Structure 1
Amino acid sequence: MKIFGRERLNGHYGVAAFVVGNTFSSIPYLLMISLIPGALAYYLVGLQKSFEHFTYFALVLFVCMMLVESLMMIVASIVPDFLMGIITGAGIQGVMMLNGGFFRLPDDLPKPFWKYPMYYIAFHKYANQGFYKNEFEGLTFPNNQAGGPLTITGEDILKSVWQVEMGYSKWVDLAILFGMVIVYRLMFLGIIKTSEKVAPIIKALLVVAPKHSEQFTDNPST
């Protein structure tokens, strides 16, 4: 952000060019991070081995990293200090993780604030549910409950155990995540644009205010 501030003052490029360039320049590296470690983790733990399932897994990893990067860019554009920026960004992500439906099931979340709206704002909700659907849909498991059927489907587990919203497919969860990336980047663009216009006004006020106070103290009759 400091480099961008200097280059922007020198007139090398505009805010929109910076946001677009920052977005596309990180995509190849995020794809590599999603595919290589993702492939190691995915097949080691014995998840579904079809190419479609792995592709979905890697895409969710990729879009989640884009979301985290976009969130940290928003924080960096607001918080000038590096350490405070890391603390703020980690705090925001921690709150989202706690309300994503994994540590506490959706029905167990307190409804004011934690479920409405934090549960629906947190991108972890859509990532978790997409992962669950990707793994459990289409499978059948032995049923341990007495008095029930011998087997239970993955869809039943998603509904009864994980409380996953089954009204839409896993690809809708992925599309929501990509939509959140666009929203985050637009927020980043808007914050930089706003700060670019507001910061000079604030600095001017900070410079003018002490001068007025000095004039008032030098001339008490006024």
Structure 2
Amino acid sequence: MESITMIVALLVPNFLMGIGITAAVIMLLTIAAGLYRQLAYLPKFFWQYPMSYISFTAWAVQGQYKNDVIGLEFEPWVPGQPKLRGERILETDLGVNSNHSKWWDLTALFFIFSCHRVVFFMVLKYKDRAVLLLHRLFSKQSFEPLRKTPSDSFRREKYTSSKRHQPLHPLSSQEGLASPLP
């Protein structure tokens, strides 16, 4: 979460916008974790495939579930039935795939953390260059129509001099000073 917060803080202009965008990004990543609804019940196109793999919360929750439940036996819901194994509870009740171990989940978390840090470094290093490039691009696009059809303010004669840079006249030719000095 810290890495995501730092990336968003670099990209947004003020504090309040940063809080809102960070909360939204972290909530999107938390939805795919299987805390609120099992991953099998979420739409496959967006939530199951890309979001569940890039969500650090999904990998952390799956690793925690595996750490807490694998190897344990639980009392059945109905007395007299056989005890429930932790692996079965993971797959049926929690919707967690137990094909890989908790160490794989921890490795995925470390990889996601490293990727977030690399993205943070890239944003930190190239943000100013990208902003300058975008300003240059947008200024070219906004002045292009003006160059094609000049407005009245741009229709000046090419060789007229401004009033500020007129040749100097002697004091006697200026208004109010035409009379000789006493």
| Distance 1:149-1:189 versus aligned 2 partners, 3 A rule | same
Alpha-carbon separation, structure 2, partners of 1:172 and 1:150? 30
Alpha-carbon separation, structure 2, partners of 1:84 and 1:185? 21
Q: Give the match for residue 72 of structure 1.
A: 5
Does 1:172 pair with 2:104? yes
* Higher RCO structure, 1 or 2 (CA under 8 Å, sep 6+): 1
Q: Give the match for residue 218 of structure 1.
A: 154
Does 1:197 pair with 2:129? yes
Q: For residue 132 of structure 1, report the CA deviation from its aligned partner.
A: 0.5
Q: Give the match for residue 36 of structure 2.
A: 103
Which of residues 57, 61, 64 in structure 2 aligns to 1:124?
57
Residue ranges of structure 2 left out of the alignment (5+ in a row):
159-182
Does 1:150 pair with 2:63? no
**SS at 1:117's partner residue?**
helix
Alpha-carbon separation, structure 2, partners of 1:221 and 1:112? 62
Residue identity matched to 1:136: V
RMSD over aligned CA atoms reads 2.9
**SS at 1:150's partner residue?**
coil
Residue identity matched to 1:93: I
TM-score by length of 1: 0.61
Moved over 4 A (4+): 203-210
The answer to which structure has the higher helix fraction is: 1
Alpha-carbon separation, structure 2, partners of 1:196 and 1:95? 28
Residue ranges of structure 1 left out of the alignment (5+ in a row):
1-67
Paired residue total = 154
Q: For residue 204 of structure 1, report the CA deviation from its aligned partner.
A: 5.0
The answer to whether the Cα contact below 8 Å between 2:73 and 2:85 also exists between their aligned partners in 1 is yes
Greater gyration radius? 2
Cα deviation code 1:71-112 (max 9, x no counterpart): 011111111211111100100111111221110101111112
Cα deviation code 1:177-213 (max 9, x no counterpart): 0111100011111122221212233445677867x95
Percentage of pairs with the same residue: 35
